[in-house]
Structure 1
Amino acid sequence: MAAQGSNHPGRSSFFSGQTLMVAMVYVLPVLIPALFGWMNMVLAVPAFYVLRVFGTREGTSLLRNGLLLAALGALLLNQVGVFLFSLTMLPLAYSLDRSAALGEGPARAGARGTITLALTWIAFWTIYGITAGMNPYNHLLELLDAGFTQTFEIYKSNTDLPAEVLLDLDRVISELKLLVPRILPGVLACMVLMTVWMNMVAGNTLLLQRNPEKAPWAGYSGWRLPEQLVWLPIIALALTLIGQGRIRDAGICLLLVAGLVYFFQGLAVFIHLLERWKVPRYLRLVFYLLLIIQSYGLILLAVLGIADVWIDFRRMGRNDGQPGEE
């Protein structure tokens, strides 16, 4: 789909190379969901790329034709539901393209994209719930509860486990059954944030590599949050420590969201430091793997992100006029 302009009207016609590539990208999660199902969460990337490279008007025509071909494939494979869910990423792509056209920084673009994707998913699952005659949120809670129960039954059937271990496991699962309904809104909010973040980073990185003149933002290491957002973890922590009942649950959910948001900033700081110190790429990969494997690594990055509000680890060697940092 790489291109240098939008002056070729044949690009958006049916069966052009670009159209077929768009169709292939969107039909893969439908064709082999077990292998490519994860692509549903990053399908705003190809749409955002097309809109930026070909322009909104021609890009929309190209996407329309490619998606019509993909829809035909989904219909033949009897996977229309999966395909319809993949379309929920399109509003996010248009939101990011709009933010890029307005010259908005990553933080504002991410906020706009988060609201857009959240409303899109709420609308999708509401319509799905109405047509299916059930409440998707309650159904999810029931599935999680049944999963915990099934897990305990599997361990319980293992005669080699001591009674003390089974008793502890039963207590842990019982506590999880009580905890999950309280924090599920925060977990779902984090899923929306993570999805928007992945699509923004992947889409902008792809543009920087293939069409740098079309990239709306600088590299990820320069992205930063507004300083005023530091009140989010402060308020969340206060609600968690002082509040009771639903207020405390809201504080926990906000704390999850704040932790994830500042993890994003901490990761940007970490990447910036690795770049400043000219750490070889293979060592960077080792550091990234360690952060993923070690659970406390994610917490450390969130703390690093919050600390950057006051310390500004990226001040040295940073060009204040560089676009896409705020």
Structure 2
Amino acid sequence: MTTSYGGPRFTPGRIRALALTAGPLVLPLFAIELIWLHTLIPLVVCYHLVVLGGREGNTVVTWALGSAGLMALISQSLLVFVFGLTMVPLGYILAAGIRRGDAPSWTGIKGLGYVFCLWLLLGAYSGLTGGPGPLQVTLESLEQSMVAALGQLEPAAENGVGAAAAPLSDQELVAAYENLQRFISRAWPALFTISFISLVWLNLVASHWLLRRKDPRLTPWPEFKYWRLPEHFIAAAALALVLLLVRVEPLATIGLNGSLIIGMLYFMQGLGIMSALLAYWNVPPLLRGICYALILMQIYGLLLLALLGMADIRLNFRQRLQKRESP
């Protein structure tokens, strides 16, 4: 990727890779509402490190970071740039796991460990400087969102919007707010963990899917529809459920958080089973998207997929489908 005199040489493909890598870092510098693009940084970093190889991939990432840093200086948005910069190592972790052929679960655990360490460091830094920590900021933002949502719910109900078209009293709104507040005060560790798991899992699945579309030989992992959690996770799920049903604090709170986290993991496995079933039935892509949307938009659909993922431990749906497909 260098010229005869040692300088960088960028072909149109490399320039495109540079633009795609720098995009999620640069765009939020000029439009803060696009800061959600930072969640895509691990995806683009991992993809180009694997596709281009270690040396060329590192060159593209380095030039992308340098370009984004220069833009951050020009726009005076260094804090936004640094926040996006923290997502880059996660892309390196995912790419290393793919290149070494590590199991998807082990790669995800290492990525999750990095995200946890990052938030601990941010919290420690906030404590030393006297500023609000990431946990405090997130909980305050969540509380403000709840207040705004409940505030919109009251006029909507008074105008007859909703299934029952019955106005909510002030007491009911206060009770709903207090119940949500109590739930968040008990379940915030699980809510944070689930958000971290979702970040790592989405980047892991998307990277794997894009690499398989580029060239199946780029990734050693099977298709997502065949991913499966270790069987001993079911013991953790049973223990969390028992602690929740004990109703003795703090064991019940530990059980609540454990149940939510394990349920999220089995929801992801259930999503893989759903993908395998839709592929087995040859459902058209458009109809598959509609099915995913209908399931994901309802809390009962999420619960159904989590139960489906747990049932797969004993029933092994995907192995049965493979046996039917084999001649």
How does the TM-score come out when normalised to structure 2? 0.85
> Which structure 1 segments of 5+ residues have no match?
1-7, 320-326
Answering whether residue 244 of structure 2 is matched by residue 240 of structure 1, we say yes
The one of 91, 105, 129 aligned to 1:107: 105
Contact 1:267–1:301, Cα closer than 8 Å, also in 2: yes
1:226 to partner: Cα distance: 0.8
Question: CA 1:128–1:68 in 2, change beyond 3 Å: closer, same or farther?
Answer: farther
In 2, Cα distance between the equivalents of 1:126 and 1:260? Answer: 28
Stretch of structure 1 that moved more, 80-89 or 296-305:
80-89
The one of 8, 30, 43 aligned to 1:13: 8
SS of equivalent residue, structure 1 residue 315? helix
Aligned to 1:3: none
In 1, Cα distance between the equivalents of 2:66 and 2:144? Answer: 38
Letter in 2 for 1:275: A
Aligned CA RMSD, in angstroms, stands at 2.7
Question: CA 1:45–1:153 in 2, change beyond 3 Å: closer, same or farther?
Answer: closer
> Which structure 2 segments of 5+ residues have no match?
160-165
Contact 2:24–2:38, Cα closer than 8 Å, also in 1: no
Question: CA 1:135–1:37 in 2, change beyond 3 Å: closer, same or farther?
Answer: closer
In 2, Cα distance between the equivalents of 1:192 and 1:264? Answer: 14
Question: CA 1:136–1:280 in 2, change beyond 3 Å: closer, same or farther?
Answer: closer
Give 1:166-315 correspondences, 5 Å limit: 166-315=170-319
SS of equivalent residue, structure 1 residue 134? coil
Contact 2:18–2:61, Cα closer than 8 Å, also in 1: yes
Question: CA 1:200–1:65 in 2, change beyond 3 Å: closer, same or farther?
Answer: same
Question: CA 1:158–1:207 in 2, change beyond 3 Å: closer, same or farther?
Answer: closer
Aligned to 2:61: 63
Aligned to 1:41: 39
Contact 1:95–1:113, Cα closer than 8 Å, also in 2: yes
Question: CA 1:150–1:61 in 2, change beyond 3 Å: closer, same or farther?
Answer: same
Larger relative contact order (C-alpha < 8 A, sep ≥ 6)? 1
In 2, Cα distance between the equivalents of 1:26 and 1:146? Answer: 28
In 1, Cα distance between the equivalents of 2:168 and 2:280? Answer: 52
Aligned to 1:322: none
In 2, Cα distance between the equivalents of 1:63 and 1:164? Answer: 53
Aligned to 2:25: 26
Contact 2:122–2:133, Cα closer than 8 Å, also in 1: no
Letter in 2 for 1:113: G
Letter in 2 for 1:62: V
Contact 2:158–2:168, Cα closer than 8 Å, also in 1: no
Question: CA 1:163–1:292 in 2, change beyond 3 Å: closer, same or farther?
Answer: closer
Stretch of structure 1 that moved more, 126-135 or 202-211:
126-135
CA offset digits 1:34-88 (Å, max 9, x no partner): 2x33221121001001111122233223211111101111222222222211122
Question: CA 1:183–1:209 in 2, change beyond 3 Å: closer, same or farther?
Answer: same
Aligned to 1:140: 138
In 1, Cα distance between the equivalents of 2:201 and 2:227? Answer: 11
SS of equivalent residue, structure 1 residue 227? coil
Question: CA 1:216–1:175 in 2, change beyond 3 Å: closer, same or farther?
Answer: same
Question: CA 1:246–1:82 in 2, change beyond 3 Å: closer, same or farther?
Answer: farther
1:117 to partner: Cα distance: 1.9
In 2, Cα distance between the equivalents of 1:222 and 1:269? Answer: 8
Letter in 2 for 1:65: W
Question: CA 1:169–1:22 in 2, change beyond 3 Å: closer, same or farther?
Answer: same
In 2, Cα distance between the equivalents of 1:128 and 1:76? Answer: 26
1:143 to partner: Cα distance: 3.8
1:120 to partner: Cα distance: 2.1
The one of 117, 120, 142 aligned to 2:118: 120
Contact 2:42–2:87, Cα closer than 8 Å, also in 1: yes
Letter in 1 for 2:39: M
Contact 1:266–1:302, Cα closer than 8 Å, also in 2: yes
How does the TM-score come out when normalised to structure 1? 0.86
In 1, Cα distance between the equivalents of 2:67 and 2:78? Answer: 13
Contact 1:12–1:19, Cα closer than 8 Å, also in 2: no
CA offset digits 1:225-253 (Å, max 9, x no partner): 11111112111111111152222112111
1:254 to partner: Cα distance: 1.0
Contact 2:2–2:9, Cα closer than 8 Å, also in 1: no
Letter in 2 for 1:98: A
1:129 to partner: Cα distance: 4.9
